[in-house]
Structures are given as structure tokens and as C-alpha cells.
Amino acid sequence: MNEVLGTKPNDNGYDLMVNGDISIVAEIKCNKPINNGYKYVSQQKEGIKKDIRGLLEGKSKVRSIDLTQAFKFLAIHDFGDHTLPAAQHLIKNLPHDLKDKVTIYEEDQPLTMDKVIFIFIK
């Protein structure tokens, strides 16, 4: 928790990084769908896509973790009924090279290291 709270919004690294027997990298987003709607605006979408690519391909300033051996999470603050549909819409409209590399976590779903897993937190 201290690592997350101590991370500045524009830091170049991951918001959370655990390197060990189980490795985890995560980006934490607080994007609220526009006008309490069911979509993110263009700037929000571009930021999320950039984070997805960073989780899949790595970041130039972070070399201490093997992403092929890490669980990758994109944690989005859950603002209520509109957050899930906005995330689903975003994933549906991802570029072709990212579409099959992202999933929304469902309870009892086995975790995989080859995809970015969207989770929602309050």
C-alpha cells in the first residue's frame, strides 16, 4: 500500500510491482466514464491503451521484471454502474493487436500471464 500511495501520477514505472515467486505488475487508473456515461473520452482511452501496451511490452525504465513471468493487472477505480460497460466498450474497440490480450476478471477465472487482466477496485 505504501508503494502505491507513494507513486506519483506521472511516474514512468508501474504503479505496483512485485518481483518474486509470484511476480505482479499493475497500473492503477481512476478514470471516470464521461458524463456518467458508458464510455471513456479519447484522452482516457489513449492513456489506458498506453498502459496496456506498457504492461504487455514493458517500459524502457523498468528492466527488473520479466513480464512473460508476471501477472499483469489494470486496476480501475469502480465508480458504479457505468465503469464496467465503459471498460467493455473500450476493450471491444481496442486495436486488433491488443484485443485478444486483455480480459476482464471474473470470479473463479484462472489467472493468466499472457493477458492484461482488468480488475475493478473501490
pLDDT at residue 13 in the model: 61
- Domain count for the chain, please give it: 1
pLDDT grade for 31, boundaries at 50, 70 and 90 = confident
In sign, the C-alpha dihedral spanning 4, 1, 76, 97 is positive
Q: Compute φ and ψ for 96, nearest 5 degrees.
A: -55, -35
Asked if the model's pLDDT at residue 89 lies above 70, the reply is yes
C-alpha pair distances (Å), 58 with each of 42, 84, 86, 98: 23, 26, 25, 14
Mean pLDDT of the chain: 87
| CA–CA separation, 86 and 30 (whole Å) | 13
What is the extent of the structural domain holding 10?
2-121
